Amino acid sequence: MKENNPIRVVLADDHAVVRAGIRQFLESSGDLHVVAEVEDGKQAIKAIESHKPDVVVLDIQMPEMSGIEVTRWVRTYAESTGVLILTAYDDDPFVLAVLESGANGYILKTADAEDIIQAVKSVHEGKSVLDPEIARKVMAHVSGSRLSAPVEHLTERELEVLSLAARGFTNKAIGFQLNISDRTVQGHLAKTFNKLQASSRTEAVMRAVSLGWLPPDLGQLPEE
């Protein structure tokens, strides 16, 4: 984030009162600015196209298009925009669908305002952020799911790249730290996803954590 430039946010939730409350505490932080608020998925896409926000905060259940469908669209057409799912739903099917769609974060509406604000900032920094309750569900799924083949161990460089990705570094920043090109970083991540049978950074990190290859504190908000 550039200094003195607020993080630009599009907020999508089909309940006006909820949107108003979220907007109020996000903007109270001083460095977050809601550039648009919308009530359904199609409006969210239009707002993203128009405003090109840093982060879009989405509910899951919305008219026209769900937050999951919007996330898939963002990952295809607006890759530079971070996606934070902010919802009341913590059912396993929703959690797994969000993970597979490529969202950067999944936070429950029961979280403290300060945690939600920090989650938006972390997503903007490229980090994967999971509510502690969601992280437990993801870990249980990853630990309990059967892999289609034995997991090939990551090379030292692949583990370095995944560790930096888990800490929120972009491909370019990872390449700078490791003195390799961002295209090479992308290649390492692709091989890592393949080895771990993962479809997103978050899933890859969680599987690496479950295998004991990464520390367990990556990608989740601290509990009280």
Mean pLDDT of 111-135: 83
pLDDT at residue 20, rounded to an integer: 92
**pLDDT of res. 12:** 94
Average pLDDT on 205-215 reads 75
Q: Look at 49-58, 110-119, 199-208 and tell me which has the smallest mean pLDDT.
A: 199-208
Confidence check: pLDDT of 75 > 60 = yes
Asked if pLDDT for residue 117 goes beyond 60, the answer is yes
Which CATH code fits 7-130? 3.40.50.2300
Residue 4, pLDDT above cutoff 70: no
What tens digit of pLDDT does each residue of 183-204 get? Answer: 898 899 889 888 887 777 777 8
Structure confidence at residue 212 as a pLDDT band (50, 70, 90):
confident
Whole-number pLDDT of residue 222: 39
Tell me, yes or no, if the pTM score tops 0.85: no
Helix (H), strand (E), coil (C) string for the chain: CCCCCCEEEEEECCCHHHHHHHHHHHHCCCCEEEEEEECCHHHHHHHHHHHCCCEEEECCCCCCCCHHHHHHHHHHHCCCCEEEEEECCCCHHHHHHHHHHCCCEEEECCCCHHHHHHHHHHHHCCCCEECHHHHHHHHHHHHHCCCCCCCCCCCHHHHHHHHHHHCCCCHHHHHHHHCCCHHHHHHHHHHHHHHHCCCCHHHHHHHHHHCCCCCCCCCECCCC
- Note the CATH number of domain 147-210: 1.10.10.10
Domain ranges of the chain: 7-130, 147-210
pLDDT band at 38, cuts 50/70/90?
A: very high
Name the percent of the chain lying above pLDDT 90: 29
**pLDDT tens for each residue of 26-35:** 999 889 999 9
